[in-house]
């Protein structure tokens, strides 16, 4: 019995390239918020980015499934993983705890809830499109 390698070079390259693209898009999306120089603007922009990325990941999971693992790695894990940012969300929530603990808890709850709702909406939307246009989509 042969074992597959733990790291597949083609998949690793796809995820890395997708991650670079996703991070670049996130930085572009954050430009207007950082120009305002208001910390809450960056927090809100991060929330919007994470929710949008969750929706898109739901679409990618349905659209690519297991049929195109390298493309799914590039777009899903790479691009959308780089575009969304759990670490920024975690730091923003942790910083907010010291000044407004109730607001920080609400932000965390809203962010996670909206992310889940968006992911389900992306899955639902992609399935609807597939039913409407056939399995070719």
Q: Write out the binding residues.
A: 81, 84
Instruction: Summarize the annotated binding site for Na(+) as residue ranges.
Output: 81, 84
Cβ neighbours for 41, distance < 8 A, ≥ 6 positions apart: 32, 33, 34
For residues 137 and 36, what is the distance between their CA atoms, to the nearest angstrom? 40
Taking the C-alpha atoms of residue 127 and residue 109, their distance in angstroms, rounded to an integer, is 27
Q: What is the DSSP letter of 73?
A: I
Handedness of CA 89, 90, 96, 100 (dihedral sign): positive
């Amino acid at each position: 019995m042969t074992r597959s390698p733990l790291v597949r070079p083609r998949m690793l390259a796809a995820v890395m390239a997708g991650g670079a693209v996703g991070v670049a898009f996130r930085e572009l999306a954050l430009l207007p918020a950082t120009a305002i120089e208001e910390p809450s603007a960056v927090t809100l922009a991060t929330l919007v980015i994470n929710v949008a990325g969750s929706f898109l990941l739901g679409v990618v999971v349905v659209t690519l499934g297991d049929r195109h693992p390298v493309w799914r790695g590039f777009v899903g894990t790479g691009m959308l993983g780089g575009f969304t940012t759990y670490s920024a969300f975690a730091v923003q929530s942790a910083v907010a705890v010291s000044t407004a603990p109730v607001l920080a808890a609400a932000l965390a709850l809203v962010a996670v809830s909206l992310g889940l709702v968006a992911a389900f909406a992306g899955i639902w939307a992609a399935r609807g499109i597939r039913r409407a246009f056939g399995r070719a989509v």
